[in-house]
Structure 1
Amino acid sequence: DVEGLDATILTGPDVLKHSGHEDTFSDPLVDCKSCKSRWKADQLDNQSCPNCKSKDLTDPRPFNLMFKTSIGPVDDGSSFAYLRPETAQQIFTNFKNVLDSTNRTLPFGIAQIGKAFRNEITPRNFIFRVREFEQMELEFFVEPGSDGEWHKYWVDSRYNWWIDQGIDKKRLELCEIEKDELSHYSKATVDIMYSFPHGKEELEGIANRTDFDLGSHTKNQEDFNISSKVMKNKKSTTKLAVQNIFNKNWFIPYVIEPSAGVERGVLALLNEAYKEEKIDGKNSRIVLALKPHLCPIKAAVIPLKRNNEQLVNQAKVIKKSLQKLGLGRVMLENSGNIGKNYRRHDEIGTPLCITVDFETLENKSVTVRDRDTMQQKRLSPDELKDYYEKYFQ
């Protein structure tokens, strides 16, 4: 019930005008008159400049966070566009295109993963305040009146999804945003917070955006009973509405939006997966214990001796046969040192290491080592195929 979309990065100013971004997508900017540096007002301690400690500051003024770029050969300010500050708006403006080409009925969603851009005054906090980032958003369209139920569904669903990816639920927390702190379009928002080593950060937000978005971008707004406060849109040429199949009335769907930053999600998963383990009380190893479906390399096939042509050729055959199963990347690791190869693949999260040795040349069997338990078992070719498929499926 979800369609994928890959829309444009450049966004027309009319879209972001009616979405409210031109008026509300801003941070309070303060200038230091002494050292000429610029800061977000909420970054100041004791109303002094973080750079030179001067208190000779300007009054805060709004600074729009969108990147603007000129369109065409002449940069005279008359023709411009913005780099999209979020992936959501192109989903709304393409709503009718998706509806017409897929014949979807409510409820259904449109999802997009891609770059978003925000002209941060002072980028900081590692990946948490940057000017370019990867965003994943789902706009799930529902009938008015069912939005509360669907909002709860997506909060629960997204919370459990992060747990399924390997996040410890002890480090997750649901934070319901107070009404006086909600965005202008939101009826209700719940943030999924994660306890990073440096403190809690938002992992994902799930918002009930009501009919604000499609209501802002549709033509003939006066024909619909739009509940949100929207700007008059006289430039839209598209009706972003659906028809009730029973009474034939047209209405604007409500939207439930799960929205997450990809980088911070990956960082949370790496934080969960990274382990340093003691072995036999003396040695230690580093393990990236990612869930198997997230591991970039599913298996490493390792010939016991790198300069033995028979072992290497047999390893290539096994690597090719596993790759054909279509379960992910299989790597041929031909460096010759089994112990170091095991440690290397522990560190990058490879779940299985398959060793091709001289016994393999006799009966085609191989040794399979599990990353997490370090246990090894001998398997025949048929057993290897079954074991491999079950492990990743």
Structure 2
Amino acid sequence: MNPAIETTQLKDIVAHAKEYGFVFQSSEIYDGLQAVYDYGPNGVELKNNLKRLWWEAMTQLHGNVVGIDAAIFMHPLTWKASGHIDGFNDPMVDNLDSKKRYRADVLLEEKAAEYENAGDPARGAALTAEMGRLLTENDLAGVRQLIIDEKILCPVSKTGNWTEVRQFNLMFSTQGSAVDSDAPPVYLRPETAQGIFVNFLNVQKSARMKIPFGIAQIGKAFRNEIVARQFIFRMREFEQMEMQFFVRPGTEMEWYQTWKASRRRFHEALGLPAAKLRFHDHDKLAHYANAAVDIEYEFPFGFKEIEGIHSRTDFDLGQHQALSRKKQQYFDNDIDEATGKPYGNYVPYVVETSVGADRLFLATLCQAYQEETITEGEGEAQQTKTRTLLRLHPAVAPVKAAIFPLVRKDGLPEKAEQIFNELRFDFRVVMEERDAIGKRYTRQDLIGTPFCIAVDHQTLEDDTVTVRHRDSREQTRMPISALRGYIGEAVSFRRVFELL
């Protein structure tokens, strides 16, 4: 029987995430801090598994990608060179009746999405293109007029009484010195990429890397978002997983296409279906890019970006070279077939892949959260009910297996504890004794545990257990000695890597 999968709304996922220890509102006892969240016991395990999977896919599977962990605080001139001090802005607009503030581009993007959902994608594309043109020209008055022409209303006041559109810098700043009040401000980094760029030569020389090569990093970034909503999709404190791939000028578009395809395969291998993923080429390119595309996932609130792939040219290294007055060049002794001579010194071009760890977490959670209709019992006792579960890929599930003694006597708890102790060095496992075994199965389904191991009286006789599978609910009898290999095969990252 094929289970009937029901569509769920974001509010159901938010409620589930809190109840089962995935995500909590930060400082909730003080009514919370807007757009800041904490990861609970199951959430931190899932997020760490996703980060580790990404890290190993980058640095372990590719012999020419290495990692770093750069500091959050950087010299202020870093952000002058990168363009963030002068140009890291979002267009904001206020509604005079509701006093609410919005990102002007988001209002227009949502209107374009309405057209697309209503069966008029051409009109949506035209609106997006016009918005891109106006923002590229920094025509903020034109952006406001476009909002008015499209009859976009404030969701709260239901009016179109808009202020002028203004640019809003997204960087957080803090005092750079505890003793010098005149010291320049130090910024909380708005992206992790610059820590890679300023360490380009340090990494290249110390790791003896030869172009093309990449530098990967996972780290926190901070943005003072105008509109922070949709749960953990847009936050003021978030985590990025980025890889900057340094290439010879003139080869960047070939590598751009290579990484574009590679990164989509990663998301599909993780369990995000191809039908719910799409590429979205940027209508407005960032100041550093000559090509850019987003990988979007269809969340309950529509298609939104989870990863960006950008061809950043030599902008970043070139800017740092100019402002620091320290050469950021690589000597390439490979032979140029056109001239018969080495390529020599040049500032490398960069292809970037940047994943939001929190957005990937949310996409994984949204895809895994399912409600299905199942049938239990036989004959007159047969009944149907709705089962809620998380169909997480076993490789990233917070708990790999739960061990259940059938009853709390007759030596079964002691036997279950013995199995727990044998497995806990290899996997995150839990042992539960309370409640009926059916309720214990349900609890593990709700957090995505792929296997439940039942210890019964037969176990004491022949050292076999019953393994119950989360997705199919099928049960398999096997020797205790086979558990480590059986579970290990299913939860290995290799199951994901084989699909890349």
TM over 0.5: yes
- After TM superposition, the structure 1 stretch with the greater mean CA deviation from structure 2, 129-138 or 346-355, is 129-138
Give 1:193's match in structure 2, choosing from 296, 320, 323. Answer: 296
Q: Which residue of 2 aligns with 1:257?
A: 352
CA distance in 2, matches of 1:343, 1:297: 14
Q: Which residue of 2 aligns with 1:357?
A: 456
CA distance in 1, matches of 2:465, 2:438: 16
Q: Which residue of 2 aligns with 1:222?
A: none
- Is 1:81 aligned to 2:192, yes or no? no
Extract unaligned runs of 5+ from structure 1.
219-231
CA distance in 1, matches of 2:257, 2:421: 45
Q: Which residue of 2 aligns with 1:242?
A: 330
Partner SS for 1:297 = coil
Partner SS for 2:231 = coil
- Is 1:7 aligned to 2:70, yes or no? yes
Partner SS for 2:400 = strand
For the Cα contact (< 8 Å) 2:233–2:362, is it kept in 1? Answer: no
TM-fit CA distance, 1:212: 1.1
Letter aligned with residue 291 of structure 1: H
1:95-123 deviation per Cα after TM superposition (whole angstroms, max 9, x unaligned): 12212221111121111112111112232
What TM-score, normalized by structure 1, do the two folds share? 0.88
For the Cα contact (< 8 Å) 1:368–1:379, is it kept in 2? Answer: yes
For the Cα contact (< 8 Å) 1:305–1:336, is it kept in 2? Answer: no
TM-fit CA distance, 1:321: 1.5
- After TM superposition, the structure 1 stretch with the greater mean CA deviation from structure 2, 94-103 or 47-56, is 47-56
Q: Which residue of 2 aligns with 1:223?
A: none
CA gap 1:309/1:336 in 2 versus in 1, 3 angstroms: farther
- Is 1:95 aligned to 2:200, yes or no? yes
CA gap 1:341/1:264 in 2 versus in 1, 3 angstroms: same
Partner SS for 1:294 = coil
- After TM superposition, the structure 1 stretch with the greater mean CA deviation from structure 2, 255-264 or 120-129, is 120-129
- Is 1:106 aligned to 2:211, yes or no? yes
1:164-212 deviation per Cα after TM superposition (whole angstroms, max 9, x unaligned): 011010011112224xx11111111111111112211112110011111
User: Superposition pairs for residues 1-393 of structure 1, below 5 Å?
Assistant: 1-30=64-93, 38-42=101-105, 43=107, 46=148, 58-74=163-179, 76-178=181-283, 181-218=284-321, 232-233=322-323, 235-237=324-326, 239-246=327-334, 247=342, 249-280=344-375, 281-306=383-408, 308=409, 310-324=411-425, 326=426, 328-393=427-492
TM-fit CA distance, 1:313: 1.6
CA distance in 2, matches of 1:304, 1:132: 44
1:52-91 deviation per Cα after TM superposition (whole angstroms, max 9, x unaligned): 6787765333221101111112473532110000111101
More contact order relative to length (CA 8 Å, sep ≥ 6) = 2
Root mean square deviation of aligned Cα: 2.4
For the Cα contact (< 8 Å) 1:303–1:336, is it kept in 2? Answer: no
CA distance in 2, matches of 1:182, 1:35: 32
For the Cα contact (< 8 Å) 1:304–1:336, is it kept in 2? Answer: no
Letter aligned with residue 244 of structure 1: D
- After TM superposition, the structure 1 stretch with the greater mean CA deviation from structure 2, 350-359 or 374-383, is 374-383
- Aligned length in residues: 373
Partner SS for 1:366 = strand
Higher helix share: 2
Identity %: 46
CA gap 1:390/1:52 in 2 versus in 1, 3 angstroms: closer
Letter aligned with residue 350 of structure 2: V
What TM-score, normalized by structure 2, do the two folds share? 0.70
Extract unaligned runs of 5+ from structure 2.
1-63, 108-143, 335-341, 376-382, 493-500
CA gap 1:36/1:74 in 2 versus in 1, 3 angstroms: farther
Letter aligned with residue 347 of structure 2: I
For the Cα contact (< 8 Å) 1:123–1:129, is it kept in 2? Answer: yes
CA distance in 2, matches of 1:34, 1:273: 40
